[in-house]
Amino acid sequence: MILKTLKILDQYPSQEPSDPDLIPAYERSQLKLHQLLFQNLPDGVIATDPLGIITDANPAALEIFGYHPHQLIGTPIFIYLEDEYGVSLAQAMSHVIEGAGSVRNRHVFVKRFDDTRRSCTLSIGPMVKDGELLRSFGIFRDRTELERLVQIDQKTGLLNERTFLQRVEEQIKMSRRKDEPLAMVYFDMRCFKPLNDRFGHAEGDRVIKKVGLRLDQAVFQSDFRARLHGDEFAALLTRIGREDLELAASKLAKAMSFEIDLVDPHTGRIESAQVQADIGIVWRKGADIPDAEALLELADKRMFSCKAAAKRGEVRTFCIDMGDKE
């Protein structure tokens, strides 16, 4: 082991030699080490010329972007970067690179070859010599898996309540600014507790997972959906017009009404159980939209109105608050 280490140190010295004759070999070894470092960094590194054209990418960057080197090199870095709403960051990033500026830990999304996105922290630094920009280097730290662990409900794969409210608050700010409508939908699974008590937690979890799957499939990818806690779920429908709300509500009510076969833990028999939801919906537009928690609370109240109507024997699959003055 010691001999192997000494051989490595002889090939790649840790310090510049005092003998001038050895300096050229030392510089070649340092260059090779820098190349190995570039290739083996766990973070993605992209090099661009002064116009933002990609000139090199290490293996970690190729994995993040999802491209082969010949597909990525020679293309503008700007076309791959966008914010969380899908808005291109081309103009902002071009100003940074062409102006030999720097960025520290900016949250960006990388558009990949397969049309998926990776959430990354991006830092950009210039390489300048004699006042001239030679290259810019972007370091991409993939945070997709970390975000998934802290933002996602583990049973359903939907957003958890904390993350959902953060995303909703961001969407509300945008909707106010653009004077656009949105709708908050609150779901409470009817009779879930008796099912969970009778068939056990394992079968109850199967119900929760199926509810999450059906909710995920019932809304657009641009909408947000979450499991809040227990048997309560929520969705934010973005840019939905007043005239489209009834149809969307009917679609959600249909998705939340289904039969599922559950196994009785005591007898081992399979029994069919009916699952339904009480649904409360609040629609608002532009400046009339309250903050995220208040909007969710309003939808929760409409859900309880729906639940109370069901207890009175009234047939209501959902209750909607359009914000009309009474």
Task: Check pLDDT > 80 for residue 85.
Answer: no
Could you give the percent of the chain with pLDDT greater than 70? 96
d(CA 94, CA 73): 17
Mean pLDDT of 68-84: 92
Of 3.90.226.10, 3.30.70.270, 3.30.465.10, 3.10.20.30, the CATH number of 152-321 is 3.30.70.270
56 neighbors 48 (Cβ within 8 angstroms): no
- Kindly state the tokens that stand for 315: 């047939």
249 half-sphere exposure, CB direction, 13 A CA radius? 26
Could you give the percent of the chain with pLDDT greater than 90? 66
pLDDT at 326: 45
Higher per-residue confidence, 61 vs 37 = 61
pLDDT tens track for 224-242: 999 999 999 999 999 999 9
Supply the DSSP string of 74-114, one letter for each residue.
Answer: TSBGGGGEE-TTS-B-HHHHHHHHHTT--EEEEEEEEEPTT
Mean pLDDT of 106-127: 92
The CATH architecture one would assign to domain 41-145 is: 2-Layer Sandwich (3.30)
For the chain, the C-alpha Rg in angstroms (whole number) is 28
Q: Please provide the average confidence, as pLDDT, over all residues in the chain.
A: 90
pLDDT at 84: 76
Closest CA to 81 of 94, 69, 68: 94
Higher per-residue confidence, 287 vs 2 = 287
Mean pLDDT of 51-58: 94
Higher per-residue confidence, 162 vs 90 = 162
Task: Check pLDDT > 70 for residue 14.
Answer: yes
Distances (CA, A) of 125 to 50, 63, 133, 277: 12, 21, 11, 52
Which H/E stretch holds residue 298?
helix 292-311
300 neighbors 316 (Cβ within 8 angstroms): no
Query: At 89, is the pLDDT very low, low, confident or very high (cuts 50, 70, 90)?
Result: confident
d(CA 317, CA 309): 10
Domain ranges of the chain: 41-145, 152-321
Closest CA to 209 of 235, 233, 185: 233
